[in-house]
Amino acid sequence: MINRLLLHAIKRRKFQFYISIFIVFNPFIACTNINQTPVIDGLQEEVEVIRDENGINHIYAKNEHDLFFSQGYLAAKDRLFQFEVWRRQATGTLSEILGERELERDKGVRLFKFRGEKSVELNHYHPRGEIIVDAFVDGINTYIKEVIDNPELLPIEFRLLDILPDYWTWEVVISRHQGLLENVKDELTYSRVISLIGTEKANEIYNFHPHTPNLDIASSIPKELLFKDILAPYNAFRKGVTFLPEDIYEDNRNESPSFLAELSEVETEIEETLEFEKFSIGSNNWVVSGKLTESGFPIMANDPHRLHAVPSLRYWVHLHAPGWDVVGGGEPEIPGISIGHNQYGTWGLTIFETDNEDMRIYDTHPENPFQYFHKGKWLDMKVINDTIKVKNLPDQTATYYYTVHGPVTFIDSTLHKAVAVQCAWLEPGGAPYLASLRMDQSKTWEEFKEACTYNHIPAENMVWADREGNIGWQATGIAPIRNGFSGLVPTLGDGSMEWDGYLPIDQRPNDLNPEVGFIATSNENVTPPDYKKTNALGYEWADAFRGDRVREVLSKGKDFTLEQMGALQNDNLALPATKLVPYLLEISFASGNTNSAQALLKDWDYILDKNSVAAGIYVMWERKIRSEIKNIMVPKEALPWVGSIQLTKILSWMEDPAKVFNNNPIQEREKFLKHCFELALTELEKKLGPDQSKWHYGQVDYKHALIRHPLSLALSEEWRNKLDLGPVPRGGYSFTPSANAYGDNNTAGASFRIIVDTKDWESTLGINTPGQSGNPESPFYKNLFSKWANDEYFIVSYKYDNIKRNLAERTVLKPK
């Protein structure tokens, strides 16, 4: 438990002084102690750490244990508050610090906890996985002990919340709480919609492909059940953490009466992002053959897209020891590197949409709701009892139930039904990104492809390029084989709709050295049309606009340079606009203001540049089209359950308006688009004023980037101004390669980017935002934000001598 006496002693002696110093001085203070030699308990030999001017730690260890011990130690030092929030999410212990409001989350986390054997789990990811993870955790805990012994080292968040960090175990590293999951939530939504409007209409409004799924819901599943909160523990397990003013040390909390309205606005912003970005929070990656590059060697580019945060989700590091020499980025709480290069090749990832969850619905015994019917027998649910510590309350008891398929989320004693979630990610090997440890040591395409077969979660498009001239692609991920049902709606748990195992990963789609000279993926369906294992493929994919734009550029050029690949990562050309704008230019308007706005689109280049007025007009028009078409195509009773309709589907309706409009479809399409355009101009005038010359896209009141610290809303405005980043104007949106969320705020997209020319590792380009450190006192807290906001990169040195030339700090960690 937290040593509150210690914390209060800290406050009495130092807190107010600390606050005043922090407020007076800018956190971008220069490093004054370039050479440091701390003594670290747990190391076997000396470790040299060179921190470059961008904040990247280059770790030089003499053995594998010390390498991963140091990675954990240094990452925790940079990201201690991020680590503590992660640990509490992973262990279901947020109630200890935030009270009863987090109790249901903690129960959900523990219900979905991985309960397998340590050695089997960890050695899946690497032959020495258990040793590596234990060393990594020991490094984390060594730094945590330092902080507890020296509380003046506590980052400000701990002081503001009146908490201390606690120690890690291997189970924190392999927690599934941060995985890209949640298909089961879609199943429930789809089933509700289908129960209201039928399968034919559902297939009409959803963009399921490349095959038509079976959406039939078993007649024994009551409609009434589907509209109950049957996934509550799962939803609690997956939700983000929100801090409230009451959690904050009283002198620094947000006392504004508008807090609740502000919180609601931000929560709505995130919900809209997750709705509109359901298939777009993914990534871009591509590899280009040396035949098409200026250097004559392959190039790899990757920009993973996730929700933006302070600190960044990803963390650059360079790991160097016997058998290891790899630089790149990963999630800081996980050992190894998931995206980067070694001395042989380079690799990157995007999501390969895969359904690895199913909702199971059972008949329960009329006299015993904890017995369920499976394969002709009544079986007892497995029971686990638990105790949860809750702030300001006595310890709370919890009971978790499990069927042969997985955790039980709902028991209905009236309907005699139970609901469970079957999760492929609860199999050994389901920890996100940890199998990257094998990839980090790959020397050839064959070794890399083999390493990919251990990557279960998330399912990914892994691309590879090497100095031998090879480019390759392997789709990864644990993929249940479903025969006779799609998995898109709830399935029976009686044994009649079982998974037929998992498809071996090396049988998932892959390619090597295609004649076209490049491979590109952006979360769209890139499965070859003749692929046979369709019963292990999903039906939900991102719109192809980003990938199509990347392929368009790569197919028309040659002698590509790193700078051109950077321009493509930041490309703002909106392919949907090339389809929609020509319809608009054929429409006649009576209003002068409307005509002038239309005229701005006539010579527009379809680029969503932040300084473009035409871009600002177009995006608002597209938004109105998406909202208005939903009211036309979705029956009223289903509207609350249908999220954003994919733009690909909408464009198909505009191309063939008879699918939407019955009488005179062309004329009705024109009327519809005209109405949406007028709505857009009204909205822009309300938003930005009547002067159309001020309607440029990128600005504080329109497209911008504001990245909030996790405590932001709970803090006073003075603190918020110091911890948050932005707002700054942005361009692009979800469907441009520079994907950065559909709404006004750039809440999602690429915080991390990397571009590698395999000819010269010293030319590697990278970025991260807002900085490497999560500690607001660090000079590396937000030093990269302006560079990122202007679509710029830094050079990622690889050779020791070049790294030393860009040195900001040098530390020699000495064993005790």
Task: Give the containing element (helix H, strand E) for 461.
Answer: strand 460-466
Residue type for 641, please?
W
pLDDT at residue 375 in the model: 98
pLDDT over 90 (residue 260): no
Q: Where are the alpha helices (DSSP H) in 572-612?
A: 575-585, 592-600
Bridge partners (DSSP) of residue 464 are 347, 472
Structure token pair of residue 735: 């469907």
Quick one: how far is CA 337 from the chain centroid?
16
Q: Residue holding tokens 């297939």?
A: 203
Reported as half-sphere exposure (CB side, CA atoms, 13 A), residue 790 has a value of 7
Smallest Cα–Cα separation from 617: which of 636, 595, 586, 634?
Answer: 595
Distance CA 700, CA 702 (A): 6
Q: What is the pLDDT of residue 281?
A: 65
Token couple for 305 = 């897209």
* pLDDT reported for residue 5: 40
Please name the residue that has the structure tokens 């591509």: 286
pTM here is 0.95
Q: CA–CA distance from 137 to each of 131, 143, 170 (Å)? A: 10, 10, 7
Integer Cα distance of 324 and 441 in angstroms: 6
Q: If pLDDT is split at 50, 70 and 90, which confidence band does 2 have?
A: very low
- Per-residue pLDDT, 249: 87
Predicted local distance difference test score (pLDDT) of residue 19: 43
Angle at which helix 575-585 crosses helix 647-655, to 10 degrees, equals 30
| Integer Cα distance of 279 and 407 in angstroms | 26
CA 633 to chain centroid, in Å, comes to 30
Least confident interval from 145-159, 186-200, 255-269, 657-671:
255-269
**Of 301, 212, 321, 678, which Cα lies nearest the Cα of 520?**
301
* Sign of torsion over alpha carbons 514, 515, 519, 524: negative
> For residue 311, what are the contacts with CB-CB under 8 A and spacing of at least 6?
78, 79, 82, 770, 771, 772, 773, 774, 781
Average pLDDT, the chain: 94
Asked if pLDDT for residue 280 goes beyond 80, the answer is: no
Percent of the chain with pLDDT over 70: 95
- Per residue in 120-172, pLDDT (tens digit) is 999 999 999 999 999 999 999 999 999 999 999 999 999 999 999 999 999 99
Closest by CA to 406, choosing from 91, 87, 176, is 176
Better-predicted residue by pLDDT, 181 or 199: 199
pLDDT of amino acid 590: 86
Which residues is 711 bridged to in the sheet? none
Fill in the DSSP letter of residue 548: H
Q: Is the pLDDT of residue 13 over 60?
A: no
Residue 589 has pLDDT above 80, yes or no: yes
Nearest-angstrom CA–CA distance, 272 and 619: 16
Which pLDDT band, with edges at 50, 70 and 90, does 251 fall under? confident
pLDDT value at 748 more than 50: yes
Q: How confident is the model at residue 267 (pLDDT cuts 50, 70, 90)?
A: confident
Residue 250 is given by DSSP the state: G
Which residue(s) pair with 170 in the sheet? none
Mean pLDDT calculated for residue range 347-371:
97
The span from the CA of 198 to the CA of 281, in Å, is 29
Q: How far apart are CA 124 and CA 136, in angstroms?
A: 16
Q: What is the pLDDT of residue 279?
A: 65
Candidate from 22-31, 156-165, 277-286 with smallest mean pLDDT: 22-31
Q: How confident is the model at residue 33 (pLDDT cuts 50, 70, 90)?
A: low
Q: What is the pLDDT of residue 23?
A: 38
Distance CA 447, CA 415 (A): 53
Average pLDDT value for residue range 554-570: 97
Q: What is the mean pLDDT of residues 33-48?
A: 91
pLDDT value, residue 259? 85
pLDDT of residue 262: 85
Q: What mean pLDDT is predicted for residues 417-421? A: 98
For residues 665-685, give the mean pLDDT: 97
Q: Which residue has the higher pLDDT, 400 or 252?
A: 400
Instruction: Please give the average per-residue pLDDT across 231-258, as a whole number.
Output: 92
Taking only the tens place, the pLDDT of each residue in 52-97 is 999 999 999 999 999 999 999 999 999 999 999 999 999 999 999 9
The span from the CA of 775 to the CA of 51, in Å, is 16
Mean pLDDT of all residues in 395-399:
98
Given the structure tokens 């201390």, which residue do they identify?
A: 164
Q: How far apart, in whole angstroms, are the C-alpha atoms of residue 366 and residue 414?
A: 9
The SS3 call for residue 161 is helix
Task: Enter the DSSP assignment of 13.
Answer: I
pLDDT of residue 14: 43
